[in-house]
Structure 1
């Protein structure tokens, strides 16, 4: 029997954990599969081993792992496989396959473009963008964000676009905000390249609010999971085809 095991990153934020679980519940309700379980890599229960064992107890003979990760970095390449390895050894009769991370996709960039336009009530040539990634020591992350940067600049017609990170890569958020603020002619639009709310989003919000209080014209968009296309991508990862009710709206 086929099973789906969703793996989120996890967070210390109760709000962020609840949001991720609600998102996955919505996905599960849109998929016709006999066994579907939720798990998290760290910080939020149930963890991967518990989710995997639940699939086994429910009669799974084949488990498809769906990582809720925007980009392929250490969590995708090392951490999740390391968690799955002893479980596969314990249950050698169960076939396990893992879907790809989302990667840089045109429809995700289209969704972010919609988020920006909705938040900013339209954009103009004087506006600038600051894309804030989670961060990773994987050098390919910088290549991915270079693609994201170009894709959003082209879609929005904005020439001043910077990228910064919240951890494990530079420039960090404080440096990124300072640099783009010194160059910006108009508003600064901050894009948290994150799936869900949590402590990392809180850090972005606090930094933006601080600058707003100082009189700067700066705003931030919502997290990516608030756009319907993210659900559609997860469903496509599970089923191998675009969902019949796929749509591009909030």
Structure 2
């Protein structure tokens, strides 16, 4: 390291209109401060919240940082981690040649993350009122869901490690959107397998609309099967082992070990069913929604957004500014990686590659409102 070099840490998140989710993300970022010596830590989002990624980078530059170690605040590497964030970082570096930005990998399949997940599941088991033993228990791990099969497959490995680690009777996986099976059909299937207890664990970092819907669908399916005990485990949040994994990812960049899994990447290899996506351009699809959605702390949902702010009539009724969400003049039945239940017509000059299984009977359209 040269005597003039100053390192900064940048945590890059997706963003949400749910203020509580953003508070949790900020808490994780704050929890990382001091874990890298005197190196400053900033964070930013792709969309729907402030600060945006470029603002976090501005702050590091103003603090004199000449080298930034940037990591995606995401569990797995799908389109956001592979395309959108790198595009934002590359654009910023091109505009600020005096700052070197090095990009790390996602949290990924990691033993620390699995132990953090196990801790959340154990908390749910400890709080349970029933007496079902582990061999009478089914574990349902709920992933976010992506149009990237590599990212989706990682949830299955996480589930298997947890299933085998606890010794549960059975394990299943479902997804909150984009791919299949979705939560409701996944739980319906699981309920028919004959287990006395089903533990529903959202493998998510933070709260938000999707967490609320996962729990809502759990309640709905539980009403149909009163003889089964359904437990709703908490999501990962700021578990100390999650923070430790973030630290590992930053340290990997500095050590030159930040290698993503490119052997199964649909943009680099001929992944079954996704062969036509090899070599697609790396570009961000979020530039037009950077920062919108922030400042809704006075929303009637008190920060715990239930997506009502996406409805124009709701906003008029409550005197709120209505900001239409990310939409285009084409169908969203292809499984983009966040929620689309809205529309406004304009052309952003880019194209989302269609998800090849958009017509699957158990998905992959984002979950309907519960």
Give me the TM-score of the superposition, normalised by structure 2: 0.62
Which has the higher Rg, Structure 1 or Structure 2?
A: 2
The answer (yes or no) to whether the contact 1:135–1:166 under 8 Å persists in 2 is yes
Q: Are the aligned partners of 2:106 and 2:249 in contact in 1 as well (CA < 8 Å)?
A: no
* Cα distance change on mapping 1:77 and 1:200 into 2, 3 Å: same
Select the structure that is richer in helix.
1
SS at match of 1:232: helix
| Higher fraction of strand | 1
Structure 2 contact 144–203 (Cα < 8 Å) conserved = yes
SS of match in other structure, 2:135 = coil
How many residue pairs get matched? 241
Alignment-derived partner of residue 245 in structure 1: none
* Residue deviations 1:186-213 (CA, integer Å, cap 9, x gap): 1110010100111111111222233445
Aligned to 1:48: 53
1:107-145 deviation line (CA, Å, top 9, x unaligned): 222222222122112851010011110110111023212
Q: Distance in 2 between matches of 1:147 and 1:223?
A: 17
1:180 aligns with 190
Q: TM-score, normalised by structure 1?
A: 0.90
The CA deviation at 1:2 is 1.0
Runs (5+) with no aligned partner, structure 2: 1-5, 254-370
Residue 26 of structure 1, CA deviation: 1.6
What pairs up with 1:95-110 in 2 under 5 angstroms? Answer: 95-110=100-115
Instruction: Note if 1:198 corresponds to 2:216.
Output: no
Range with bigger deviation, 232-241 or 194-203? 232-241
- For 1:18-167, what aligned pairs fall within 5 Å after superposition? 18-121=23-126, 124-167=134-177
- Separation in 2 of the partners of 1:41 and 1:184? 43
Alpha-carbon distance in structure 2 between the residues aligned to 1:34 and 1:158:
43
Residue 342 of structure 2: aligned partner: none
Paired with 2:194 and 2:115, the residues of 1 have a C-alpha distance of: 24
Instruction: Quote the residue 1:248 is aligned against.
Output: none
SS at match of 1:191: strand
Secondary structure class of the residue paired with 2:9: strand
Contact 1:160–1:184 (CA under 8 A) maintained in structure 2:
no
**Alpha-carbon offset, residue 178 of structure 1:** 0.9
- Deviating above 4 A after TM superposition, structure 1's stretches of 4 or more consecutive aligned residues are none
Separation of aligned partners in 2, 1:127 and 1:192: 16
Matched-pair contact (CA < 8 Å) for 1:66–1:100: yes
Distance of 1:191 and 1:200 partners within structure 2 = 13
Q: State the shift of 1:234 in Å.
A: 1.2
1:56-88: CA deviations, max 9, x gaps?
A: 222111011021111111111101011112111
